Amino acid sequence: MHRIQSRTYVGQPGETVTVSTVVSGGGQARVTVGGQPIAGGQFQLPSTAGATVRMQVALTGPQGASCVVTITVVDGSADTDFLLCSTFNPAPVNFYDFSVAANAAVSAFAAARRAPVSPAPAAAAPTAPAARPRRKTSRKRGK
């Protein structure tokens, strides 16, 4: 997956997105995709090139509560964001748009950006189990 601009990414069909939140100051965060909370901090991009999906991170809590959002794997590492409950923004909600492009297009984009290319997710293959790309992704993160 690659970052196009702030909170906007492009990934391969079926690619797994891992999201984690670190909340402090008594806040509570909720990560949803299509209005549904994501399970296990992961979700998969649609399997069709051209599709889009929006993720939403909402934070509530007393003033000063904060949340660091980490999204992996973006350009071979992680992208991070920050939310804060403050006077004029007491309940922040940030959005993250993910577009799906064909494997070749994503590879070309990465080459143009000179960013590391993620291996093509096996989930794109019709017979592949859904868990396989997650294992690949986590091995890569562990290196």
Partner 1 sequence: MKRAGVFSFVLLLLSPLSTYGQAPSPVPDRRAAVIAGVVNEGTLAAKATPKVARPFSDRINVNARQHVGAYLIAVNAERSAYGALLRALEAARVDKQVGAPPASSGGTSLAMKGLAPKIFGVAVERGALIREVSGTSLTFRLNPVGVVKALQGAGLVELNDDYFKSAVQRFSARFSLAATFDVSRGPDAGVFTASDQQLASWAARYTIIDRRDPASPSYAAQWQELLLDTPYQKSVEALNDALGRWQAYTDWEASLAKSVSSSVEGPLSANGNVEAAAKAYSALVTAELKKLEALPVPDEVKRTLDGYVTELTRVQTSIDKIYKFAGKGPLVTFDLTDKRDVGLPDLYTATGVFEAGLGQSRKTDFTFNGSVSFFTSKPTGIDHSLKSMNFTGQLEHPLGKGLPAPTLTFAARYSFIPNDTLVSIETRPTTTPEASAIAPAPKGHVVFFQGKLTVPIKDSGMKVPISVTASNRSELIKEKDVRGSIGITLDLDTLTSFLTGRP
Taking CB under 8 A as the binding criterion, the range among 40-48, 60-68, 102-110, 112-120 that sits at the site for partner 1 is 60-68
Instruction: Give yes or no for residue 6 binding partner 1 (CB under 8 A).
Output: yes
Which residue in 40, 87, 126, 127 binds partner 1 (CB under 8 A)?
87
The angle at the Cα of 69, spanning 26 to 83, to the nearest 5 degrees, equals 55
Helix and strand totals (H; E) in the chain: 2, 10
Q: Which helix (H) or strand (E) holds 3?
A: strand 2-5
Q: Are 53 and 45 in contact (CB under 8 A)?
A: yes
Which residue in 51, 52, 86, 130 binds partner 1 (CB under 8 A)?
86
Under the rule (CB under 8 A), what is the footprint of partner 1?
5-8, 22, 25-30, 35, 56, 58, 60-66, 68, 70, 79-82, 84, 86-97
